[in-house]
Structure 1
Amino acid sequence: MKIALDPTPFHSSHSVLEFPQLAAELGYKYLQLTPHPDVLPFFRHPKADDALVADLRKACAEADVEVASILPVLRWSSPDENLRKAAVRYWKRAVQIAVDLGVEQMNTEFSGRPEQPEESEAAFYRSMEELVPVFEREGVHVAIDPHPDDFVEEGLEALRVIRGVNSPNLGFVYVAAHTFHMEDDPARIMAAAGDRLRVVHVADTMDHHASHGLRYITNPPGNAVRVHQHLKIGDGDVDWQEFFGGLAENGFLDRPETVMVSSVFGENENALEVSRYQLQTMKEFTGSFH
């Protein structure tokens, strides 16, 4: 298992080429690249050219840090056919960037719409018809997160949709901060995922079902919103013994291809301290199950 830093909290303070050295200084040997305006912006065409990719690879080598995973977020399940087709083109460039960086693991979201679940699922499978041959040819594995406000949000249903693609190059992301939106029992999701579970994001969140649904409140009542946080371990309601225990039972902690990512976005004012705390705490939890 690789433990990686998600540098999102540092997007405003560091350049992309500074991320590898930053990760090294914080004690991480791996990075996860998430949407960034200079590389893979949300929903739009990748902006990194070959020269920037080469510079990033050089920066990683100099810092002795590897990119463990790349996370594009593109509308490949959009019911809007023009947006879906565009997302497929963008995905092909994203895969090329991954290959040029020597990265075999990518992860993403379904990126459809919950109010149009059938149309979004149909769009997803249409995109898979064109992209899965690219993933398989390039030797890239793509893991998918059932993100809140997507056409599939439940953990077990997401696994069914992924299984339906019928490709070993597609797998599952378990995001701890989405635990209470996935509805299904965490251990059951991890067990069902088996070795399709390739990436986990480690961040805490509040249980919005708690206090009779009043843990946090939006107005007016009944808004179609999904609220969650990405806090450091211990600041929310996630059962971390259950989480890491489920990973141990799954075998995730012992597989060389898996990636565990510190994914805290809600505490940027203490990002350096939080990143170090996350690494130490993840190592302590994983060590306790060996």
Structure 2
Amino acid sequence: MKIALDPTPFHHSHSLLEFPALAADLGYRYLQMTPHADMIPFFRHPKADDALVAQFRKNCEAAGVEVASVLPVLRWSGPDETLRQAAVRYWKRAIQISVGLGCTQMNTEFSGRPELPEESEAAFYKSMEELLPVFEREGVHVAIDPHPDDFVEEGLAAWRVIRGLNSPNVGMVYVASHTFHMKDEPLEIMRAAGDRLRVVHVSDTLNHHASHGLRYITNPPGNAVRVHQHLKIGDGEVNWDEFFGGLAEVGFLDSPDTVMCSSVFAEDENAHDVARYQLETIEKYVAKFSKG
């Protein structure tokens, strides 16, 4: 298993090419490349050319850091056909960038709309008809997260959509901060996905269902909003023994192909200390539960 840093909290303070040295300084051997204006921005065509990709990879090698996963967020399940077609084109370039970085693990979101679930699912499968052959040809694995405010938000329902593709090149992401949005129990989801669970994001969150649904109040009541946090481990209500124990049970912790990413976004002002704390705490839990 590779323990990676999500550098999102440092986007305001460091340039793209500084991320490898930053990760190394914080004790990480791996990076996860999440959306960035100079690489693969949210919902837009990738902005990195081959020269920038090569320079980033060179900086990684100099720092002793590898890119463990690349995370584009593109509207490949969007019900707007023009934007869906554009997202497929953007995905093809994102795959080239990932391979150029020496990375064959990508992860993403479904990126559809919850108010149009049938249309979004149809768009997703249509996009995959064109993209699956590219993933398979390039030897790339893509893992998908049922993100809050998507056409599929529940854990087991998301796994069924992924399984329906009938491809070993597609698997699932489990984001700990989405635990209370996924309806199903964490162990149920992990066991269902099994070795197709390839990426997990480690950050804590509060249970918005607590206090009879009044933990968070929005006005007017009944707003179609989704609330969660990306806090450091211990600042929320995720059951971390259950989380790491479940990952150990399905073989995630001892697999050379899996990626565990620290993804805390709530404390930019303490980002360096939080990143070090996350790595230390993750390693303690891994040591506690790993069978290797």
Query: Which category describes the TM-score, using the shorter chain as reference length?
Result: over 0.9
After superposition, what is the alpha-carbon deviation per residue over 1:55-89, rounded to whole angstroms, capped at 9, x for unaligned?
Answer: 10000000000000000000000000000000000
Matching residue of 1:277: 277
Separation in 2, partners of 1:27, 1:97: 25
Q: Map of 1:1-290 to 2, 5 A cutoff?
A: 1-290=1-290
SS of 1:160's equivalent in the other structure is helix
Separation in 1, partners of 2:15, 2:106: 21
User: 1:200 Cα deviation (Å)?
Assistant: 0.1
State the TM-score, normalizing by the size of structure 2: 0.99
SS of 2:264's equivalent in the other structure is coil
SS of 1:189's equivalent in the other structure is helix
The AA in structure 2 aligned to 1:225 is: V
RMSD over aligned Cα atoms? 0.5
The AA in structure 1 aligned to 2:73 is: V
The AA in structure 2 aligned to 1:143 is: A
The AA in structure 2 aligned to 1:30 is: Y
Unmatched 5+ residue regions in structure 2? Answer: none
After superposition, what is the alpha-carbon deviation per residue over 1:145-193, rounded to whole angstroms, capped at 9, x for unaligned?
Answer: 0000000000000000000011110000000000000010001100110
SS of 2:212's equivalent in the other structure is helix
The AA in structure 1 aligned to 2:104 is: E
User: 1:216 Cα deviation (Å)?
Assistant: 1.6
Separation in 2, partners of 1:48, 1:205: 33
After superposition, what is the alpha-carbon deviation per residue over 1:1-27, rounded to whole angstroms, capped at 9, x for unaligned?
Answer: 000000000000001100000000000
The AA in structure 1 aligned to 2:21 is: Q
State the TM-score, normalizing by the size of structure 1: 0.99
User: 1:215 Cα deviation (Å)?
Assistant: 1.2
Separation in 2, partners of 1:274, 1:258: 22
User: 1:220 Cα deviation (Å)?
Assistant: 1.4
Unmatched 5+ residue regions in structure 1? Answer: none
Separation in 2, partners of 1:222, 1:76: 29
The AA in structure 1 aligned to 2:140 is: V
The AA in structure 1 aligned to 2:122 is: A
Separation in 2, partners of 1:219, 1:267: 26
